[in-house]
Chains A and B, each alone.
Chain A
């Protein structure tokens, strides 16, 4: 077992699986549009939004699912979401550019939430179009109120983003103190009096719609505590005469990248062993992904995205809403409903789960010397085009042979390869991991990285060394045939534009 290939095969669900099954179509796309190439499935993002909606309905909750635009730059996903039920789906923009893009994709201002660091122009346009502003600090609130007055804008809807839920008295009535990572965003809960006072002072120009948080953690317990704290703070607002009605719990619902729990467990165990030196390295240069060997003991933390997630996306939201809250004892869904609060969420990665893949052509296959049967595979893409390493996501690419299945027999058996990019740079590794493929690739084959629409395909893409950056296309399946068009030409109409009629 020990020397069995350590696969980390991707989780691929029906529409994406069927697309991966059509190798000739994908080859023809790359032949025409070049390598690397991003492929998006806009229908899937709508289905995912519907899955989040189903969780809302199960708990009788009202409120919107806002797509965190930062997860993907493309137009097709945003346009497809704009065509969803306006009462159920919105978009969360984190820059002036994203706001302009969302408006141009068909979102009306009332379906837009402005988050993140904001400059004056961003604030002005958000207020101008009636977007909800997720306010980070008192200073930002003052700035927004000033703009509304100065330019005679309509009263702006605001959410106040809170942070620092570790309570002052240590336990907050929950018995134990839950530590959280420090965040650079949001107003600490300890300083809310100042926020309420500012809201009252600027009541003519800003209207408190609700309270928000976003915790960078996978921990349900931490998020559940913050959610309950918001419910309690909403009450504090009401007691002061403010009338918030929304609790916005941010995103971070997660995605499962690896299909099989056993593969993930075997690989992570093997990583510890490799760091301890009890088995050969699993990575280029023996990189430990944050783990290190101190006198025979493993120290540090693996900086890896938990690639196999039994509960992720809508399921994670469901679980978060269902587990009893520490102070009031009722499930967060019940608390929200009973207090007549709406729920907002801002999933990014989870909403674009299974929505895309990144393709690259195999340009070179070369044996690595040094005894072991290992190869170097160079692709027509670089690490910026599929930023697995930047996000700690580990998953195997799917090999799509040039010649179709008939050609496959020639090479037999799994082989370990290091996948490198097209930059003249030692560090340009698509993944630091030694990847096992079912057979040795050949020049001209395609490698498909599945499920890359969330943060992976274009978040870190760049123009260094004037290498081509990926084009992006949108595809849909009709009667078993795949159709495509450039991402920028996609509109959510019945037939894809750009398809010859």
Chain B
């Protein structure tokens, strides 16, 4: 397929049937609408382009800034679209909770402003939230900000009413599915798709999924937060149900490991929520001979959510490290094998030792630069850990004095190096703190 612009590749995503042996529903055909295959990677490509297009085509090269409240996929799509048109993009958010997404946005050239946390000393008369102030700033005269306003902009809904919805109907041979399941973020996709499907068949049931209130799933709002979304209309949904981040990850794993769909947690939540909800519908259909169809949206891909998974299911990403590690030593072993030397003896050793010890300062480089023992070498602990893992990084003929802030970490490493066969490695007792407290010299070079 040949295009003049990548924006032409937005939409027309595949609708893929989930193997019934995976979801276990006997009377329902479950389809995944693979919005993750949009060119910028998510379902948000559609509304981002549809909302920004009029602005971008008018302002191309004009030096303005596209602004949106987004912590994820809308920001990603808008950053790329703005860049293509010679404009800047700024994302304002208090929901930037996935570090990879933040870094990815910076890579794409986005500017990110994070809103302050809640006040601890509350002023109950101050009831304007930071977002209200954000809107006031945007409407100040002379502002060159182009606000796409995804939570209130009807073009968000239109993008799906014109694209996503009709595509589903077309791919189901002109029929609307009996069930449509979507996670509610801006409510754009669920509202737009639901509108089209119901025009085809008023009997379509729409299930909206929201994040469990104490939980966080990227791109989904909680039941309270949806009420703050201008596009959200409760009448769109036959029911609203919460999903947890654990369910989202379960669903994501099923889609990835069994269906070959590289879905992120939002798609996982939609799958898991769909199967959970449809199970009872399926049971009622048993023996009636009736068949139903359901569609859910796979919003985006897995790769950006590794830290999200690591936080919640570290075992999924765990791998055992090999080699020598200080964490393998017990307290007993550290006491038995670690030699410590007090500040006075250490000073004598450094001044008169034959040979003199190599002094290794395990603190961070910034702290080392500020003040350190003259003649010492700085190898920050995390680097040192990697350095000793395969074997001794020093000659056995070079005595070593290890120093850390309080002499705890250095003792651990002294024990480890001794166990690895180093004959003369000692830890500075009490660390640099004791060194300072004893009035021994620290230099700044």
B127 and A303 within 8 A (CB): yes
B408 and A60 within 8 A (CB): yes
Could you mark each residue 272-296 of chain A with 1 if its beta carbon is under 8 Å from any beta carbon of chain B, else 0?
A: 1100101000000000011100011
How far apart are the CA atoms of A171 and B146 in the complex, in Å? 22
B119 and A339 within 8 A (CB): no
B116 and A217 within 8 A (CB): yes
How far apart are the CA atoms of A304 and B119 in the complex, in Å? 9
Could you mark each residue 223-243 of chain A with 1 if its beta carbon is under 8 Å from any beta carbon of chain B, else 0?
A: 000000001101100110000
Q: What's the minimum C-beta distance from B31 to chain A, rounded to whole angstroms?
A: 32
Residue of A nearest to B232 (CB): A297
A252 and B113 within 8 A (CB): no
Residue of A nearest to B228 (CB): A298
| B26 lies within 8 A of chain A by Cβ | no
A328 and B117 within 8 A (CB): no
A339 and B370 within 8 A (CB): yes
| B63 lies within 8 A of chain A by Cβ | no
Q: Evaluate whether A330 and B124 lie within 8 angstroms (CB atoms) in the complex, with A175-B112, A298-B227 already known.
A: no
B214 and A297 within 8 A (CB): no
B128 and A301 within 8 A (CB): yes
A221 and B364 within 8 A (CB): no
A300 and B227 within 8 A (CB): no
B114 and A176 within 8 A (CB): yes
B132 and A338 within 8 A (CB): no
Between-chain CB contacts (< 8 Å), 10 pairs: A176-B112, A178-B116, A179-B113, A238-B371, A252-B120, A298-B224, A304-B122, A335-B364, A338-B405, A392-B122
Quick one: which of A190-219 are within 8 Å of B by CB?
A: 216-219
Q: Evaluate whether A392 and B124 lie within 8 angstroms (CB atoms) in the complex, with A217-B116, A338-B367, A340-B433 already known.
A: yes
Q: Evaluate whether A218 and B224 lie within 8 angstroms (CB atoms) in the complex, with A176-B106, A297-B229, A300-B132 already known.
A: no
| A117 lies within 8 A of chain B by Cβ | no
| A254 lies within 8 A of chain B by Cβ | yes
Question: Which residues of A lie under 8 Å from residue B103 when comparing CB positions?
Answer: 175
Interface residues, chain B, CB within 8 Å of chain A?
96, 102-103, 106, 111-130, 132, 213-214, 223-224, 227-230, 232-234, 363-364, 366-371, 405-406, 408, 432-433, 436, 444
Q: What's the minimum C-beta distance from A183 to chain B, rounded to whole angstroms?
A: 11
Q: What's the minimum C-beta distance from B74 to chain A, rounded to whole angstroms?
A: 17
B124 and A254 within 8 A (CB): no
Of A175, A219, A232, the residue contacting B117 (CB under 8 A) is A219
B116 and A252 within 8 A (CB): no
B405 and A391 within 8 A (CB): no
Chain B residues touching A, majority SS: loop
Could you mark each residue 325-345 of chain A with 1 if its beta carbon is under 8 Å from any beta carbon of chain B, else 0?
A: 000111000110111100000
Q: What's the minimum C-beta distance from A287 to chain B, rounded to whole angstroms?
A: 11
A265 and B213 within 8 A (CB): yes
Q: Evaluate whether A328 and B118 lie within 8 angstroms (CB atoms) in the complex, with A298-B227, A337-B405 already known.
A: no
Q: What's the minimum C-beta distance from A321 to chain B, rounded to whole angstroms?
A: 14
How far apart are the CA atoms of A338 and B366 in the complex, in Å? 9
How far apart are the CA atoms of A392 and B127 in the complex, in Å? 11
How far apart are the CA atoms of A278 and B233 in the complex, in Å? 13
Of A221, A239, A306, A335, the residue contacting B118 (CB under 8 A) is A306
B113 and A176 within 8 A (CB): yes
Q: What's the minimum C-beta distance from A271 to chain B, rounded to whole angstroms?
A: 8
| A180 lies within 8 A of chain B by Cβ | yes
How far apart are the CA atoms of A181 and B214 in the complex, in Å? 25
B118 and A218 within 8 A (CB): yes
How far apart are the CA atoms of A338 and B364 in the complex, in Å? 7
Of B106, B115, B123, B124, the residue contacting A179 (CB under 8 A) is B115
| A170 lies within 8 A of chain B by Cβ | yes
A218 and B370 within 8 A (CB): no
| A222 lies within 8 A of chain B by Cβ | yes
Q: What's the minimum C-beta distance from A208 to chain B, rounded to whole angstroms?
A: 16
Question: Which residues of A lie under 8 Å from residue B129 when comparing CB positions?
Answer: 299-301
How far apart are the CA atoms of A397 and B433 in the complex, in Å? 49
Residue of A nearest to B432 (CB): A340
Q: Evaluate whether A272 and B224 lie within 8 angstroms (CB atoms) in the complex, with A290-B124, A299-B132 already known.
A: yes
B96 and A179 within 8 A (CB): no
A181 and B370 within 8 A (CB): no
How far apart are the CA atoms of A163 and B119 in the complex, in Å? 15
B112 and A177 within 8 A (CB): yes
Q: Evaluate whether A222 and B405 lie within 8 angstroms (CB atoms) in the complex, with A290-B124, A297-B227 already known.
A: no
B367 and A300 within 8 A (CB): no
Residue of A nearest to B442 (CB): A340
Q: What's the minimum C-beta distance from A341 to chain B, rounded to whole angstroms?
A: 9
Q: Evaluate whether A177 and B114 lie within 8 angstroms (CB atoms) in the complex, with A303-B124, A392-B122 already known.
A: yes
Question: Which residues of B lie under 8 Å from residue A306 when comparing CB positions?
Answer: 118
| A269 lies within 8 A of chain B by Cβ | yes
Residue of B nearest to A170 (CB): B111
Question: Which residues of B lie under 8 Å from residue A176 when comparing CB positions?
Answer: 96, 102, 106, 112-114
Question: Which residues of B lie under 8 Å from residue A17 when comparing CB positions?
Answer: none
A175 and B123 within 8 A (CB): no
Question: Which residues of B lie under 8 Å from residue A391 when comparing CB positions?
Answer: 122, 124
Residue of B nearest to A300 (CB): B127
Question: Which residues of A lie under 8 Å from residue B405 when comparing CB positions?
Answer: 60, 334, 337-338, 340
Q: What's the minimum C-beta distance from B103 to chain A, rounded to whole angstroms?
A: 7
Residue of A nearest to B363 (CB): A338
